[in-house]
Amino acid sequence: MNKIEMGKQYRDSNGGNIEILSTSKNGPYPVVAMINGDSICVYAADGRFFRGKTNDNDLIEVGRYDDFKEDDPVKNVSGGRYHFSHVDSAGTPFMFAQGKTSWTTSSKIYVGDVTKC
Which whole-number Å values give the CA distances from 49 to 3, 45, 57, in the listed order? Answer: 13, 10, 6
The reported pLDDT for the residue numbered 106 is 66
**pLDDT, tens digit, for every residue of 38-67?**
999 999 999 999 988 888 889 999 888 888
Q: What is the pTM of this model?
A: 0.64
With a cut of 80, say whether residue 108 has pLDDT above it. no
Q: Rounded to the nearest 5°, which phi and psi values hold at 7?
A: 90, -10
